[in-house]
């Protein structure tokens, strides 16, 4: 990893733990293994480092959104995968999804950083809501919509069903970000949540 990228990486780690204002340019430089003034050869100032982190996430998001065709045209394929879905398989998928977003270093650090900085300005608020509110509801909603059409799920309000699936997951994710020791407790709750969700909205056997 080159220095320019390593700066972003170490800055993200620090920002996610202490917040932008509590991280000093010297702290970032220390972790990169250079002195603070050297850092200014790579970024104009401290704010430019923060901005580059946001830009990178926006870039990754766009790429992923394109790969998933989030506009809905192809969520039908995913729904097909779930067509013959047992409760056990549903649990496995939910657990994998949850643990990926919880443990993936990049996602975890970025989410925590945005949690701290979300009130700093409107743009950051929008990024937070896009990533953790609207995109998940939109993508899972599209998927559940197809599953409802296929009769795998039963509802007359896909939007609320999606909220009932995702809001508890979001809730548990924020608990684990704040208190990592509660991961076991939350995983148990996650299982019960998905089982109950399946009982409520799942196809009756």
Partner DNA sequence: GTCTATAAGAAGATAGAC
Partner DNA sequence: GTCTATCTTCTTATAGAC
CA dihedral sign, ordered 184, 94, 103, 174: negative
Exactly one of 5, 17, 38, 86 binds DNA (CB under 7 A); that residue is: 38
Q: Which of 38, 66, 86, 129 binds a second copy (CB under 8 A)?
A: 129
For residue 164, the minimal CB distance to a second copy (Å) is: 6
Q: Quick one: which of 9, 19, 34, 65 contacts DNA (CB under 7 A)?
A: 34
Quick check: 201 and 153 in contact, CB under 8 A? Answer: yes
64 binds, among DNA, a second copy, none (CB under 5 to 8 A by kind): none
Tell me if 51 contacts DNA by CB under 7 A: no
Establish if 97 lies at the interface with a second copy (CB under 8 A).
Answer: no
Contact call for residues 190 and 94 (beta carbons, < 8 A): yes
- Our finding on whether 46 is near DNA (CB under 7 A) is yes
Q: Which is nearer to a second copy, 4 or 18 (CB)?
A: 18
Residue with smaller CB distance to DNA, 121 or 156: 121
Residue 191 · residue 91 · CB < 8 Å: yes
* Residue among 136, 77, 126 at smallest CA distance from 101: 136
Say which entry of DNA, a second copy, none residue 200 contacts (CB below 5 to 8 A, set by partner kind): a second copy
Q: Is 100 in the site for DNA (CB under 7 A)?
A: no
Pick from 31, 36, 91, 124: which binds DNA (CB under 7 A)?
A: 36
H/E stretch holding 190: helix 183-201
Alpha carbon dihedral 23, 24, 27, 29, in 10-degree steps, equals 120
Instruction: Decide: 166 and 136 in contact? Cβ < 8 Å.
Output: yes
């Amino acid at each position: 990893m080159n220095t320019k990228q390593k700066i972003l990486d170490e800055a993200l780690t620090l920002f996610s733990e202490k917040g932008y204002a509590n991280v000093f340019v010297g702290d970032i430089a220390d972790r990169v293994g250079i002195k603070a003034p050297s850092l200014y050869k790579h970024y104009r100032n401290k704010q430019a480092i923060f901005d580059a982190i946001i830009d990178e996430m926006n870039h990754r998001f766009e790429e992923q959104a394109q790969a998933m065709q989030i506009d809905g045209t192809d969520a039908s394929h995913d729904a097909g995968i779930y067509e013959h879905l047992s409760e056990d398989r549903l649990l496995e998928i939910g657990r994998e999804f949850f643990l990926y977003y919880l443990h993936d270093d990049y996602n975890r650090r970025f989410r925590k950083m945005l949690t701290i900085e979300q009130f700093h300005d409107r743009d950051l608020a929008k990024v937070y809501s896009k990533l953790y509110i609207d995109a998940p509801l939109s993508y899972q909603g599209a998927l559940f919509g197809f599953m409802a059409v296929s009769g795998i799920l039963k509802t007359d309000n896909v939007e609320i069903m999606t909220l009932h699936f995702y809001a508890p997951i979001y809730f548990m994710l924020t608990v684990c970000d704040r208190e990592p020791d509660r991961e076991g407790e939350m995983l148990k709750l996650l299982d019960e949540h998905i089982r109950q969700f399946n009982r409520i909205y799942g196809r009756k056997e």
